[in-house]
A and B are shown apart, each in its own frame.
Chain A
Amino acid sequence: MENEETKVMIGLEIHAYLDTKSKLFCSCPTNVNESKPNSLCCPVCLGHPGSKPVLNEKAVELGTKVGLALNCKINQDFFFSRKTYFYPDMSANYQITQYEIPLAGKGFVELGDKKITIRRAHLEIDPAALIHPSGMGQSNYVLIDYNRSGLPLIEIVTEPDLTTPDEAREFLITLENILSYLLVLKPETTLKADCNISINGGNRVEIKNISGFANAKKALTYEIKRQINETKLGKTIEQHTRAYNQETNTTIPLRKKETEEDYGYIFDPDLVKVNLTDEYLNKIKSSMPELPKEKIVRFIKEYNLSEYDAKVLCSDFELSNLFETIVKKGASPKITNQILTREFLSILNHDSLNFNQVKINETDIFDLVKLIESEKVSDKNVKESMINYISGDKTSPKSYLEKNNLLVDTTIDLDSIVISVIDANPKAKEDYKNGNEKTLNFLAGQIMRQTKGSAQIDKVLEKLKEKIN
């Protein structure tokens, strides 16, 4: 790995899809995932001569919310520019984006005790999707689908404040969480990041267009190693752009600095300036939803959770909502938190699943919490029913427990079972009295077997001690 004194600087440019019904500058629908290629386009997003862009007001609203959530200064007067570069995915060979004055200026995101500075956040259009039919580099041509062309993106640019690939990953997760609280992200899309990286004050290398947090970490880790090795060989790192190859887990050069485009930015003369009035801004400010930081504080206070637990719950918008819905139905916050942060998350971790990959029904969890509250189920069986719920046949924990007779049978007289087991094992009883604690476990095992595991183990131990003495 990198040696101790290697100083790494990582800056990210993150692109996120905003959740609008129509595109940024035309009224084409945005449901690109379920549509045939080139079936969601119009003269504007196909770059047909004569067509003109008109700004989607919703995108401005969502972008403003992002800026506020990232503690940015909102520029109330801004405009759009044309960034000219030729590429087969750009229908006009210029991208409508923001250059001199972005929608949102300097802000920050807290990562533990560290503040990562946000340089800016601005609105821009997404290019079309390209397919390389015989793989990247091998294909003789590309296939273009313009459905994506013109979708609204917000680009969030950080200062190079991040120092490790892990920190970059953590930042991306934190950022995505904030954006999900805002309800501005288009469902079923992922953040895409351009990663800028330099070591020991050297030149900056940009790795373009990485999807997924794990890939970002992998690409950065590879790139740091590569740069260290190059430097060791006496080579200087030149400023250039690279691509990440997921299959080989390497980065490959895209183009040299000399051939980088000169974007020749001009104001887009088809569009006019935007002025956000104080009134507009205040209205958005007052409509800002609760953000993770605020929710953590509230959870600690309202539900008497530890800071750690509150943070775990609030690190995922859906999870924190699930928790609160169940509690609001009358379940114990303490037990609900245990089920969600301990049982549930450890199963997810074990199976390397994401929260959004599994279906969790609030009633199913509520019923389970209620069973635990009334002491009708053992810890072991709670775990078993949850594993089945998430990775097994997905029947609700309650029905699973019922079907498999795993609920504590309240008709069973635990006292008489305990007494009969003690009577049947006089030697064990004596050994325990003489100080051999282990024999208590042996007796408890006998009792558990007779109750088919439905008894609560601590309760059994307690009763054993009580009867022997």
Chain B
Amino acid sequence: MIKQDETIKHFVNLAKSDFSQVEENLSKIIFELQHSQNKGLNYIESFDEQLVLKQLENLRNSNKKGKLFGVPITVKDAIVVKDLESKAGSRILAGYKPQFDATVIKKAREEGAIILAKTTQDEFGFGTFSTNTIKVPKNPFDQNRSCGGSSGGSGGFTAYTSAYHLSIGESTGGSIACPASYCGVNGLTPTYGLVSRNGLIDYANSLDKIGAIGRNTFDSELLLNVISGKDEMDSTNLGINYAVDDYDLDALDLNELNKDVNKIAVIKDFYEFCDQDVKKVFDKQIEKLREFVEVEEVSLPLNVKYALSAYYIIATSEASTNLAKLSGLRYGIQEDVDGLHFDDYFSLVRSANFSDEAKRRIILGTFARMSGFRDAYYLKSLKVRTKLINEFKSAFKNYDLLLNPTMSTVAPRFDEIEKLTPIQNYAMDLCTVPANLAGLPHLSSPIGFSQDMPVGLMTVANHLEEKKLTAFGKLIEMIN
């Protein structure tokens, strides 16, 4: 059950008439941020107090009181913020201070948000546990466990802080849902193209989606409302804004809210892949939901079999070209070039500064698009994507929403993660990858605990049907 005073909307309403609320909340969150840093929880990649205080002063003197007035926002490191070191969790971008704000940052600032800090992540988003980087975030529920990835710092810090706060995450194959699930927060990934990618340091451009992480669906959807919409700087942007309706939590009519959600289905294939204890929590939630909506089962045999393969081919193919630009010139790590042939200089900088996982994915992606293999891997994977989207589309003819546990397990311990081979590691994304490959909007909602660790439920909607998702997310929150 969410209470009105837990929501960002409540805070913004207070802040608009009483600026001390903004100051208090900001001091609180800066204190917690620094505290988490001192404890080595590693949620924060970069933080510049001067830049934050400057924003506070600007707000104090501003007449415009926007939808996120005074709300501190953390941002996944891959999303560029002007003058704040942004390196997508990679050493090769150390020192890079972007000279422009990502469109989402611009939009958030226009609504009065305070851009607080960059959050830790797997290098370039390459990972499920935020362990493929130098600063590895630790799960607030158990420091021996992962926050999930790749937006791990965002998930971890959202769970950790007690202040009013929102986080902008990014998902390529599940990087918002996964940390939301592992950290027990709300993660909303929109339809591909709903939110501008301008200013996002690309992982895989045809898969990357910027989204919202918050305490609850009300907060996440408010952030989505602000950051979505038309942007001329991103050719793949759909030019559509996600609208929010006003609400009064005390008088919320759940049936009215969910009037468009009539029939939903659990994706059997993904469900079966999950651990017993995760299933138990999930089953309990489904039983509760049956009071409000008809729940059936559906099978997506092609997705369960082929989505991971197609996803990893597309993602690594695109990533390997994106990372070509990172070669030690113009920004980030740079060395003396005198006397070095360009092949040697580029190899030197790249070999010394990419992590193992980046190297593996660059090699896989370069391989998949090389002449001789390109037809069988890269081009075929794009056609397979069409087939897998079609499979989802036929399921949406019968169901408004599709459900599965977000992750097959609760957050694993770091010593367990170390033992995973790359192929086992990639398989951990089974439940989140298909919806991401298809560019479908999805929401991860916390639904309970197993072994004292949070469990998440993932809801998937058809393209641009975010409204059904958020209505359903609110239902879950109000009945729990």
The reply to whether A50 and B327 form a contact with Cβ atoms under 8 Å apart is no
The verdict on B200 contacting chain A, using a C-beta distance below 8 Å, is yes
Task: Identify the stretch in A3-11, A79-87, A211-219, A445-453 within 8 Å (CB) of chain B at 4 or more residues.
Answer: A79-87
The CB with the most chain B CB atoms within 10 A, among A46, A49, A144, is that of A49
The reply to whether B96 and A270 form a contact with Cβ atoms under 8 Å apart is no
List CB contacts (< 8 Å) of A47-94 with chain B.
47-55, 82, 84, 86-88, 91-94
Interface residue from B79, B236, B317 paired with A266 (Cβ < 8 Å)? B317
The verdict on A140 contacting chain B, using a C-beta distance below 8 Å, is yes
Bitwise interface map of B from 365 to 397 toward A, beta carbon under 8 Å scored 1, else 0: 010011100100010001000000000000000
Interface residue from A53, A88, A270, A272 paired with B329 (Cβ < 8 Å)? A88
Interface residue from A52, A93, A94 paired with B197 (Cβ < 8 Å)? A52
Interface residue from A86, A264, A269 paired with B374 (Cβ < 8 Å)? A264
Interface size class of B (residues with CB under 8 A): 35 or more
Task: Please give, as numbers and ranges, the residues of chain A lying within 8 Å of B366 by CB-CB distance.
Answer: 264
Task: Please give, as numbers and ranges, the residues of chain A lying within 8 Å of B369 by CB-CB distance.
Answer: 264-266
The verdict on B201 contacting chain A, using a C-beta distance below 8 Å, is yes
The reply to whether B371 and A52 form a contact with Cβ atoms under 8 Å apart is no
Measured between C-beta atoms, what is the minimum distance from A220 to chain B in Å? Answer: 28
Q: Which residue of A lies closest to B314 (CB)?
A: A269
Bitwise interface map of A from 89 to 112 toward B, beta carbon under 8 Å scored 1, else 0: 001111000000000000000000
The reply to whether B324 and A49 form a contact with Cβ atoms under 8 Å apart is no
The reply to whether B235 and A53 form a contact with Cβ atoms under 8 Å apart is yes
Asked whether A86 and B327 contact (CB < 8 A) given A49-B88, A266-B369, A272-B235, the answer is yes
The verdict on A271 contacting chain B, using a C-beta distance below 8 Å, is yes
The reply to whether A47 and B321 form a contact with Cβ atoms under 8 Å apart is no
Task: Please give, as numbers and ranges, the residues of chain A lying within 8 Å of B201 by CB-CB distance.
Answer: 49-50
Interface residue from A49, A55, A87 paired with B331 (Cβ < 8 Å)? A49
The verdict on B249 contacting chain A, using a C-beta distance below 8 Å, is no
Task: Please give, as numbers and ranges, the residues of chain B lying within 8 Å of A280 by CB-CB distance.
Answer: none
List CB contacts (< 8 Å) of A310-324 with chain B.
none
Bitwise interface map of A from 386 to 405 toward B, beta carbon under 8 Å scored 1, else 0: 00000000000000000000
The reply to whether B205 and A265 form a contact with Cβ atoms under 8 Å apart is no
The reply to whether A55 and B235 form a contact with Cβ atoms under 8 Å apart is yes
Interface size on A, residues (CB 8 A): 33
In the complex, what distance in Å separates the CA atom of A264 from the CA atom of B323? 14
The verdict on B330 contacting chain A, using a C-beta distance below 8 Å, is yes
The verdict on A43 contacting chain B, using a C-beta distance below 8 Å, is yes
The reply to whether B102 and A86 form a contact with Cβ atoms under 8 Å apart is no
The verdict on B57 contacting chain A, using a C-beta distance below 8 Å, is no
Tell me how many residue pairs across A and B have CB atoms closer than 8 Å: 109
Interface residue from A46, A266, A270 paired with B330 (Cβ < 8 Å)? A46
In the complex, what distance in Å separates the CA atom of A271 from the CA atom of B102? 18
Task: Please give, as numbers and ranges, the residues of chain B lying within 8 Å of A84 by CB-CB distance.
Answer: 320-321, 324
Task: Identify the stretch in B10-18, B288-296, B336-344, B403-411 within 8 Å (CB) of chain A at 4 or more residues.
Answer: B336-344
Asked whether A88 and B342 contact (CB < 8 A) given A49-B331, A82-B321, A94-B321, the answer is yes
The reply to whether B98 and A141 form a contact with Cβ atoms under 8 Å apart is no
In the complex, what distance in Å separates the CA atom of A84 from the CA atom of B378? 15
Task: Please give, as numbers and ranges, the residues of chain A lying within 8 Å of B79 by CB-CB distance.
Answer: 50
The verdict on B31 contacting chain A, using a C-beta distance below 8 Å, is no
DSSP majority for the A interface?
A: loop
Task: Please give, as numbers and ranges, the residues of chain B lying within 8 Å of A46 by CB-CB distance.
Answer: 330
The verdict on B247 contacting chain A, using a C-beta distance below 8 Å, is no
The verdict on A262 contacting chain B, using a C-beta distance below 8 Å, is yes
The reply to whether A50 and B200 form a contact with Cβ atoms under 8 Å apart is yes
In the complex, what distance in Å separates the CA atom of A86 from the CA atom of B328? 12
In the complex, what distance in Å separates the CA atom of A269 from the CA atom of B200? 14
In the complex, what distance in Å separates the CA atom of A92 from the CA atom of B326? 8
The reply to whether B199 and A50 form a contact with Cβ atoms under 8 Å apart is yes
Task: Please give, as numbers and ranges, the residues of chain A lying within 8 Å of B128 by CB-CB distance.
Answer: none
Task: Please give, as numbers and ranges, the residues of chain B lying within 8 Å of A91 by CB-CB distance.
Answer: 325, 330
List CB contacts (< 8 Å) of B223-239 with chain A.
232-236
The reply to whether A266 and B197 form a contact with Cβ atoms under 8 Å apart is no
The reply to whether A269 and B318 form a contact with Cβ atoms under 8 Å apart is yes
Interface residue from B233, B343, B371 paired with A54 (Cβ < 8 Å)? B233
Asked whether A86 and B235 contact (CB < 8 A) given A43-B99, A47-B325, A91-B325, the answer is no
Measured between C-beta atoms, what is the minimum distance from A39 to chain B in Å? Answer: 15
Asked whether A264 and B321 contact (CB < 8 A) given A49-B201, A54-B232, A269-B206, the answer is yes
Q: Which residue of A lies closest to B99 (CB)?
A: A43
In the complex, what distance in Å separates the CA atom of A47 from the CA atom of B93? 13
Measured between C-beta atoms, what is the minimum distance from A60 to chain B in Å? Answer: 13
Interface residue from B200, B325, B370 paired with A262 (Cβ < 8 Å)? B370
Task: Please give, as numbers and ranges, the residues of chain A lying within 8 Å of B317 by CB-CB distance.
Answer: 264, 266
Q: Which residue of A lies closest to B382 (CB)?
A: A267
Asked whether A266 and B342 contact (CB < 8 A) given A48-B98, A55-B235, the answer is no
In the complex, what distance in Å separates the CA atom of A343 from the CA atom of B231? 59
Bitwise interface map of B from 63 to 107 toward A, beta carbon under 8 Å scored 1, else 0: 000000000000000011000001010000100101110100000
Bitwise interface map of A from 128 to 171 toward B, beta carbon under 8 Å scored 1, else 0: 00000000000011001000000000000000000000000000
The CB with the most chain B CB atoms within 10 A, among A43, A140, A266, is that of A266
Measured between C-beta atoms, what is the minimum distance from A51 to chain B in Å? Answer: 8
The reply to whether B200 and A141 form a contact with Cβ atoms under 8 Å apart is no
Other A-B contacts than A50-B86, A93-B346, 20 sampled, CB-CB below 8 A, are A43-B99, A48-B330, A49-B202, A50-B199, A51-B100, A52-B198, A54-B232, A55-B235, A82-B321, A86-B346, A88-B329, A91-B330, A140-B338, A141-B339, A264-B320, A265-B374, A266-B318, A266-B321, A269-B205, A272-B236
Cross-chain pairs A/B with CB under 8 angstroms, 13 sampled: A49-B93, A49-B96, A50-B100, A50-B202, A51-B198, A54-B235, A82-B321, A86-B324, A86-B346, A92-B324, A92-B325, A141-B337, A266-B318
- Which residues on A are within 8 Å of B, measured CB to CB? 43, 46-55, 82, 84, 86-88, 91-94, 140-141, 144, 262-267, 269-272
